[in-house]
Structure 1
Amino acid sequence: MSPHFLSRRTALRAFAGAGALASGALAACRSQDPPQSGPAASARPASRPGADRRFPAEWESHARTFMSWPALRRVWSLDLRYVREDIARVARAVAEYEHVVLLARPDQQDAAQRACGSQVEVIPLPVDDLWARDTVPVFVEESGRTVGVDFNFNGWGNKQKKHDSDAAVGRSLLPKYKIPRDTAPLVAEGGSFETDGQGTLLVTESSVVNDNRNPGKSRETIEAELKQALGVKKVIWLAGVRGQDITDAHVDSLVRFTAPGVVLLDKAFPGAPADVWSRSADQARSVLTEATDARGKRLEIIDLPQPDPDRITGTGDDFVSTYANFYVANDAVFMPRFGDKRADDRARGILKEHFPGRDVVPVGIDTIAAGGGGIHCSTHDQPGEPPAH
């Protein structure tokens, strides 16, 4: 794996002028890109959601999974080939269980199709990078139909300057599937949200109550807007981590619901030195221990321990070795395989226990993880009945 690409953590330091992994030319190239428009500056306002709007849980039925083909060598440099291999591997694995639609730039469609195989549907649509969780609209159900809520992607607070294609994914994609599009009154990404499907939303404050997304907005204002846009009833705020990765610490690498009232919480490998990420998990635990969900019930917290950093096959200071970034599909759960067999098997057992009746499928994603993300970051579920074949 090359040390020359900008991971989602090191990108932040590079844009701040301290990019340890990025070459000077690469940083200069990115800094010359013009800034993107502000939060929903030119977007139409959302229609007022109905009282029955609901944000489904990921374990409910999916019509399809959306993914994106990484397009830019300026982002991945020499690792573009390897991250594409990871994405193709994930797409093929998920396609064994449900329909996968992969978005690829028109001039890259044929290559993406060859890499993914005939079981994956590759459609021509301009994208910049692989993070479909953040760029595809968040799907809700309302009055018997699916609605896509566009959260005005702005490159994680304009940290990734080249994101105009990703920002337009909602406008380009939803008409192809006749899905109505609402525009949220705030900026966020899909990885910022975790729901139990029964009105409870977990969010990191660092990734949403942040002037790089929503300048001047209070947490109370944003909470009211989230409740309206997503149809949730209760928002549980976790502190998160500001300024250490490009996402400002999305919740989907920290804590995940497995059922109403049950969460899996990322836990550092025993003996690992404390850092901002382990302290964030400790803070989340303290909040979740005292919290109740939308039904007024206490939460059961299950640890999901990380692997031994000396035993994983991936490399890099920014390697994201959390198992919490798993993806729940129809009849299967997809988790990263990090190479620490004991930890991989333990995580697989925990997921199997909490998703009975589903296969738990480990997938190697070392380049995606070195880029600061995981399987959940690179997939996006559309709720609904699977299409007839």
Structure 2
Amino acid sequence: MKSLYVLPFFIAFCYSGAKRAEGGAVVAKEHAADRKSAQVLYTMPEEGMPHEGTWLQWPHQYQYGEAYRDRLDDAWIAMTDALSEGEKVHIIVYDEEEEDRVREMLEEDKISLKNIDFKVYKTDDVWVRDNGPIYARDAKGNLVIEDWGFNGWGKKAEFENCDEIPGRIASDQNRKYVDLNEVMINEGGAVEVDGNGTLMATKSAILNKNRNPGMSQAKAEEIFTKYYGVTNFIWLEGKAGLEITDMHIDGFARFADKNTIVTMSPDDLLEWQVAQNDINKLFRSTNKNKKKYNFVKLPLTQENVTTAYGKKLDYPGSYVNYYIANNVVLVPNYKDPNDAVANAIIQKLYPNREVVGIDVRNLYANGGMIHCVTQQQPR
């Protein structure tokens, strides 16, 4: 079976607490005492809305070595190439030496740097979906950066550099910064929103003693209502301890739009170790108007995945973890016969965008796929 975000080493650190955005960013500090009502303060745009750009954290050698970095470069080059035709690509690099290395690779591949910029921030790893900025809109429609707490998926891996990324971006963009570090630990891949008031998540990745000890479901819903603008909730139990993320939702169920959930067949969901009760609940899901969702089912890979460097994994690959950009949809591909099947299904869902398959085999050996390593900045 798959193991999402299986990092080369598991190193636990104590959570460093709240952070501050430096420079010109306006900090909106939020405390638990402020959570007296479920009033909507901010709304999170759905991923398919127009983007200003996409954030990527480029792999580097400083955490897991050169082999780790070199095996991932091609996927990042391919994502940058596909994305830069339709939006900006904001690339986070570890240091100036890494910036020079990445620039050289892109230029060698004849990729224009016109829509690409670089930010030099130290990172621990590549999972910007989970540690990066969450862009939301205030009541006047202005974009703000929400910085939810990140503690390395429950102190399972180093996180202190990545934990600082949202504040650094808010400072550089001189954008209002909503500091939620003392409010909730919440990774971007742990939640899905449909853009119409509904949030879908697993309890195992949020209401977990390694993230938010003692937090009730009601309190979590109150927080999500205030900061995501959602009022309807689809809670699956998930499976704590299954893998480093404690079963993020974006590996097996996503919103294609306000009416459609993309997932797998019940048999494939069981293969993905989703419990039968969760499968039943997923397929009974309704939106905020109590209308049932339409379901689109993607296959798993026909075969267990083998990396480009020959490592045989003992689990199949998911296509659900795709990313919607302005002009393209980036879909995980595995050199498997079902790549074409999944790409064709997703193309029908997004007829005005081009589906681009990205070879994620080497990335998948570390657990993640396309959605895990991308983060949108709305226009």
Aligned partner letter, 1:61:
P
Q: Which residue of 2 aligns with 1:37?
A: 16
Q: Report the alpha carbon displacement of residue 217 of structure 1 after superposing the two structures with TM.
A: 0.9
Q: Report the alpha carbon displacement of residue 35 of structure 1 after superposing the two structures with TM.
A: 2.4
1:121–1:321: structure 2 CA closer, same or farther, 3 Å change rule?
A: same
Q: Report the alpha carbon displacement of residue 266 of structure 1 after superposing the two structures with TM.
A: 2.9
Q: Does 1:106 align with 2:57?
A: no
Alignment of 1:245-256 (within 5 A): 245-256=243-254
Q: Does 1:308 align with 2:302?
A: yes
What is the alpha-carbon distance in structure 1 between the residues aligned to residue 267 and residue 282 of structure 2?
20
Q: Report the alpha carbon displacement of residue 72 of structure 1 after superposing the two structures with TM.
A: 4.4
**Structure 2: gaps (5+ residues):** 22-28
1:67–1:311: structure 2 CA closer, same or farther, 3 Å change rule?
A: closer
Alignment of 1:261-340 (within 5 A): 261-267=259-265, 275=271, 277-280=272-275, 282-310=276-304, 315-317=311-313, 321-340=317-336
Q: Which residue of 2 aligns with 1:242?
A: 240
Q: Report the alpha carbon displacement of residue 295 of structure 1 after superposing the two structures with TM.
A: 2.5
2:125 to 109, 126, 129: 129
1:179–1:284: structure 2 CA closer, same or farther, 3 Å change rule?
A: farther
1:83–1:267: structure 2 CA closer, same or farther, 3 Å change rule?
A: farther
Q: Indicate the SS of the match to 2:129.
A: helix
Alignment of 1:42-191 (within 5 A): 44-45=29-30, 51=40, 53-75=42-64, 78-107=67-96, 108-117=98-107, 118-119=112-113, 120-142=116-138, 143-160=140-157, 162-184=158-180, 185-191=183-189
What is the alpha-carbon distance in structure 1 between the residues aligned to residue 177 and residue 378 of structure 2?
15
What is the alpha-carbon distance in structure 1 between the residues aligned to residue 71 and residue 255 of structure 2?
31
Write out per-residue CA displacement over residues 117-164 of structure 1, whole angstroms, 9 at most, x where no aligned residue: 44332221221211111111211112121111111111111100x211
Write out per-residue CA displacement over residues 309-359 of structure 1, whole angstroms, 9 at most, x where no aligned residue: 257656443666110000000021110121113x11111111111112111
Write out per-residue CA displacement over residues 204-254 of structure 1, whole angstroms, 9 at most, x where no aligned residue: 111100011101111221111111121111111112221121111111111
Q: Report the alpha carbon displacement of residue 104 of structure 1 after superposing the two structures with TM.
A: 0.8
What is the alpha-carbon distance in structure 2 between the residues aligned to residue 308 and residue 320 of structure 1?
7
Question: Does the 8 Å CA contact 1:56/1:140 hold for their aligned counterparts?
Answer: yes
Question: Does the 8 Å CA contact 2:238/2:274 hold for their aligned counterparts?
Answer: no
**Structure 1: gaps (5+ residues):** 1-6, 12-21, 385-389
Q: Report the alpha carbon displacement of residue 64 of structure 1 after superposing the two structures with TM.
A: 0.6
Q: Indicate the SS of the match to 2:339.
A: helix
Q: Larger helix proportion, structure 1 or 2?
A: 1
Q: Which residue of 2 aligns with 1:225?
A: 223
Q: Which residue of 2 aligns with 1:18?
A: none
What is the alpha-carbon distance in structure 2 between the residues aligned to residue 58 and residue 83 of structure 1?
24
Aligned partner letter, 1:215:
P
Aligned partner letter, 2:374:
T
Q: Which residue of 1 aligns with 2:26?
A: none
Q: Which residue of 2 aligns with 1:367?
A: 362
Question: Does the 8 Å CA contact 1:72/1:128 hold for their aligned counterparts?
Answer: no
Deviates more, 1:49-58 or 1:129-138: 49-58
What is the alpha-carbon distance in structure 1 between the residues aligned to residue 226 and residue 41 of structure 2?
11
**Sequence identity, in percent?**
28
1:65–1:344: structure 2 CA closer, same or farther, 3 Å change rule?
A: same
What is the alpha-carbon distance in structure 2 between the residues aligned to residue 35 and residue 157 of structure 1?
10
Q: Report the alpha carbon displacement of residue 297 of structure 1 after superposing the two structures with TM.
A: 1.4
Write out per-residue CA displacement over residues 33-66 of structure 1, whole angstroms, 9 at most, x where no aligned residue: x42335x498932688974632111111001100
Question: Does the 8 Å CA contact 1:269/1:305 hold for their aligned counterparts?
Answer: no
Q: Which residue of 2 aligns with 1:4?
A: none
Question: Does the 8 Å CA contact 1:239/1:284 hold for their aligned counterparts?
Answer: yes
1:141–1:279: structure 2 CA closer, same or farther, 3 Å change rule?
A: same
Question: Does the 8 Å CA contact 1:267/1:278 hold for their aligned counterparts?
Answer: no
What is the alpha-carbon distance in structure 1 between the residues aligned to residue 267 and residue 313 of structure 2?
16
RMSD between aligned alpha carbons? 2.6
Question: Does the 8 Å CA contact 1:207/1:247 hold for their aligned counterparts?
Answer: yes
Aligned partner letter, 2:30:
P
